Structure formats: structure tokens, C-alpha cells
Amino acid sequence: MDNDYDALVIGAGVIGCAVARELSRYELKVALLEKESDVCGGASKANSGVLHSGIYSAPKSQKARLCVQGNDLFSKFTQEIGVELQRIGKLVVARSDKEIEELEKLKKVGKENGVLGLKLIDVEEVRRLEPNIRAQCALLVPSAGIVSPYKLTIALAENAWENGVKVFLNSKVTDVSKKENYFDVKNDNLTFRTRWLINSAGLYCDTIANMLGIERHKVYPCRGEYLVLDKSYDHLINHLIYPPPENGSGGLGVHLTPTMEGNILIGPSAEYIDEKDDIRTTKEAMDKLNVQAANFLKQLPKDAYIQSYAGVRCKLIPKGCEASGDFVIEEDEKVEGFINLMGIESPGLSASPAIAQMVVDIIKSRETLKPKDEFKTRRTGRRFGLLDIKGKSKQIETNPKHGHVICRCENVTEKEITDALDNPLGVRTLAGIKYRSRATMGRCQGGFCRARIVQIMEEQYKMGVQDITFRSGDSRLFIGRTKDLRGNDREES
């Protein structure tokens, strides 16, 4: 049967994509189902993009173990899919005596978890490393780093596809039932059959588990908002700058995160919310973030934000609980073949390679997996805008369309836009282009290039006015052609 699979993964966030890709190393028929119009529509696109080291989680927890393992695996993991990782290191800074005690505790926990290279540094050293930061002393965490979470997730999905995984977008799982030795998985119009079923539906992991009668865990969504600073302020910090975590606050505290593209992120806030999809940003949180950033930075630039966004944490512990809760990663004891991944909140991104291996190991403990003869890896260089003069010159030689810059703030070229439109998953949305090429993500937020991109979609890809959407089908940019509203309709091309 066509829709018969060895393994089916629900949810194409970083976890689902990493799992699907890990499975694609073996002679298995694998499907990846995602409800949104593109992969990476959930928490994986809206987080800090920090590769954590493993200093926060309680010793012996899954979080601690998988984070430390994940951190170890991350260099190879990102190299294999051509995504850049920078281990810029983290400073957890103390601004009071009480916070200094917290640093000692973190160091102890980190050591116990097996994090290497932790070092307490004094005020002089902090000043040398971070002249713009207020602190009495700091804990230096050299193994921490930064990665673009959406680039990573998209590359994992596309590489999984290149290795034979079938990716189904706009494919929301509405029902799952356990048959004798397989599952029937339904979306709106198809039924899939699979021997192994992996639940990596993020915030909706409880919904999926409930479909199989598993009701042990409930998700408590907790929103985190961010502000994005203009890249001209990239010199303000050199490391990740964190406060010591506050127990029961829902997050690790508002921190400053450099990104590969030069925009510093300020956030996240932490607010328990009622609706899982409520990724609004709020005035209250933005004002607070601004104040909290000023607590770190000796000088906070004014009017320098280019964007705000929010992601939602998938917590298994309700508001007010001191405990932080652990990842659930197991083959369900009652439902054989159902691998349940629940509560994959921070440090889920960092742990993703280790979680993917763990899932494969669960399957391996039950059957022999045969590695494929050939497993494809990817090599993608830096994007045009980040190359030096020589690199840029060479790239234009390979294809003249690299010489035509479309997004002027971020120097994204026509070739990069069409490459994004030619993605193997067949995604043709403005958001898809944005996350793949970076066009529209700079300081003018598409003020000029969005129109040029639409022109390319129209002229080179023959997309009609109704097909030009931001994300899914209902997020249309246009209502039609001019004059349509006045009744004298003209022919739609």
C-alpha cells in the first residue's frame, strides 16, 4: 500500500525533523506529517536559538543528560546539513551577592552534569570580555553557542527528504488508532498506516497522546516574547548574556542573545496563557523587556528595534510550580510502537540530536535496523550577504543571478530567492522564502524587496494573485487586482 510506513513522525519542528532524518539513515519507509504549510511553524522557529551546555537542569534528569549529549553532538550534526554553529560562549552574570551564590550553585550543577570548562570570572575579566555589560562577576560557559533554529529545522527536513522521507505539509493529524501491530493515522483526506508512531507534535503532544487514550500529561503553554535589535548594534556584546535563573519563573530569565546575522535578541518573557497558538506580542511584555535589557546594558540604544515575536513553551508543569519538569521520551508502556515525546521545552533545540538518537535506539532495541548504503549529507556555504568580496565575486561567477541583489538590507540575491522557491518540500510562501533566504528580515522588513519577490513569484513561477500568501492559504497578501473592487473586473492572468 502506498500509505504504508515503517515509521510515521507527527510534527515537523526541530524534534520531528531530527527524528525523521535520523531514521532516514536506515532501510525504513518514513513519513513526516505537519499541520502547517511549512516545516518549523511552532516553537522551533520562535526561540532563542541557543545551544545550551547543560548547566540548568537537575543532575540525572533527561534534560541534563540529553542537553550535554546534544551539545557534544551538535558540531557534527550541523556540519552534516551545512548549517553554521558558533560556540561563542555564555556569561551568566551576577549583579548582587545573592546572584553570586546562584552562580556557585550553577557551576556545581553544571560540573555534576558533565559540562566542561566552567569558570567563575571576576569583574575585571567581565569588563575585558564584555565592556558594555554591568556585572560583579560571571560564570563563563564556553561550550554554549548560537545556531539559527529555523535554518537548522528546515535543513533537517530537506535533508530527510533527500534521504527518502516523505514530507506531508498541510497535513493535520486528526485521529490515531492502534490496530493489532500497526497504527492508522488520519489527516483530513488520507489514512496512513505505520508500525512505529512518533509523537513530536510540540504543544499538541497531549492532544495526540489523548487520541490513544494516554492522559498522563497535560500541556501548560507559556509564552515567551522577544525584541529584535537592529544589526548595527551587534558590537554591544560578544557572548550570550544571561541572568541566573529564577526558580518557578517559567523560563531562564530575560537574556541577550547575539545571532549569526548580527541582530541581538532581547527576551524571552514568561507568561502562562490559555491558548496554545496565541503568539501575540504585548505592550506589557515589550516594555518589561526593554527595562530588563537596560539592567544588563550600560547603554541601551533607543528606537533600535526592528521586530518583535513570540514562541510558546510546552510545559508539563502548571504555573507556580517550583519544579521544572522533565522531558518525557519513551515507548508508551501500554501502547506498543508509540514513541511519545512530551514536554520538549528548553533545552529541546540543543538536545535535538540526542533525542533523535534516543528514538532510534528505542526502535533498535526491538528490531534490527539496516543502515542505507548511501546517506546524503548537505553542503551549503554562507549566504551571499555574509561573504567577503572574493567570495561574493566567485559566487556571481557561478551564476549571474547572484549579482542581482533583491533584499537590500540583508543583501539577498535573486538566485537565493529562486533557490528558496525551488525548495524540495514545494513550499511557496513568503514566510518560506523569508526563513530560507533571509529576505525581508532586515531593518526595512521587506519595505522594498517584498514587492520584488512577489514579482518573481508572478513572472518566473506563474503564481496568480490568489496564490501569493504569507503562510497558509488564508494569509493572502492581496484581495485581487486593482479595479476588481469597482466592478469592472479584468481578466485574471
Partner 1 sequence: MIEKKVDIAIIGAGPAGLAAAISAKTEGIDNLLIIERDEHLGGILNQCIHEGFGLEIYKEALTGPEYIQRFIDEVKELGIPVMLKSMVMELNDKRELIVSNEEGLHQIEAKAVVLSMGCRERTRGMIRIPGDRPAGIFKAGEAQHFINIRNYMIGKKVVILGSGDIGLIMARRLVLEGAEVPCVVEILPYCSGLIRNRVQCLEDFGIPLLLRHTVVDIEGKERVESVTIAEVDDNWDIIEGTERKIECDTLLLSVGLIPENELSKMAKIAMDEKTGGAIVDENFMTSCPGIFACGNVLLVHDVVDYVTMDAYLAGKNAALYVKDELIKKPKIEIKTGPGIRFMVPQKIALEDVDIYMRVLEPGFDKNIIIMDGQEVLKSKKFKRVAPPEMIKIKLKKNEIEGAKEITVSVE
Kindly tell me which of 259 and 418 has the beta carbon lying closer to ligand FAD: 259
Dihedral sign for Cα 245, 250, 253, 259, please. positive
- Cell triple for 232: 548595527
Question: Minimum Å distance from CB 49 to ligand FAD?
Answer: 6
Kindly tell me which of 117 and 391 has the beta carbon lying closer to partner 1: 391
Q: Which position among 291, 361, 485, 489 is part of the footprint of partner 1 (CB under 8 A)? A: 485
Which residues 208-247 are close enough to bind partner 1 by CB under 8 A?
227-228, 232
If one asks whether residue 134 binds partner 1 (CB under 8 A), the answer comes out as no
Residue 52: active-site member: yes
Q: Which position among 98, 179, 283, 379 is part of the footprint of partner 1 (CB under 8 A)? A: 283
Question: Minimum Å distance from CB 38 to partner 1?
Answer: 14
What residues have CB less than 8 Å from 366, skipping those under 6 apart?
none
If one asks whether residue 5 binds ligand FAD (CB under 6 A), the answer comes out as no
Cβ atoms within 10 Å of 300's Cβ, excluding its own? 17
Select the binding partner of residue 201 from ligand FAD, partner 1, none (C-beta < 5 to 8 A, by kind).
ligand FAD
| DSSP reduced 3-state for 358 | helix
Kindly tell me which of 19 and 297 has the beta carbon lying closer to partner 1: 297
Kindly tell me which of 246 and 275 has the beta carbon lying closer to partner 1: 275
Kindly tell me which of 146 and 457 has the beta carbon lying closer to ligand FAD: 146
Binding mask 330-369 for ligand FAD (x = CB under 6 A): --------------xxxxxxx-------------------
Could you tell me which stretch among 77-85, 93-101, 309-317, 474-482 binds ligand FAD (CB under 6 A)? 309-317
Identity (one letter) of the amino acid at 201? A
Max distance between CA atoms of the chain, in angstroms, equals: 74
Chain-centre distance for alpha carbon 132:
28
Which is the catalytic residue, given 52, 239, 255, 402?
A: 52
If one asks whether residue 1 binds partner 1 (CB under 8 A), the answer comes out as no
**CA pair distance 438, 445, nearest whole angstrom:** 10
Torsion, CA 432, CA 434, CA 435, CA 438, rounded to 10: 150
Residues that contact ligand FAD, how many (by CB under 6 A): 39
Q: 473, exposed or middle or buried, with CB in 10 Å at 0-12, 13-18, 19+? A: exposed
Nearest Cα residue to 342 out of 206, 223, 224? 206
Active site residues: 52
